[in-house]
Amino acid sequence: RVWPRGQAVVPPPEHALTVPFVEGDLLLVGYDLIWLAEAGGPTLRTVLYWEPQTTLHQEYKVSLRLLRADGTALTWPSGEAVTADRFPLHQVTPTTTWLPAEPVRDVYDLAAPRQKVATATTLRVILYEAATLREVGAVELALPPPSLVPP
pLDDT of residue 1: 61
Rounded to the nearest 10°, the torsion over CA 134, 61, 17, 146 is -110
Q: How many helices and strands in the chain, by DSSP H and E?
A: 0, 8
Write the pLDDT tens digit of every residue in 100-128. Answer: 999 999 999 999 998 898 899 999 999 99
Q: State the average pLDDT over residues 124-138.
A: 98
* pTM for this predicted structure: 0.91
E strand residue ranges, 24-103: 26-38, 41-52, 60-68, 83-86
Pairing of strands 60-68, 120-129: antiparallel
Q: Which fold has domain 15-148?
A: Immunoglobulin-like (2.60.40)
Pairing of strands 83-86, 135-142: unpaired
d(CA 147, CA 79) in angstroms, rounded, equals 25
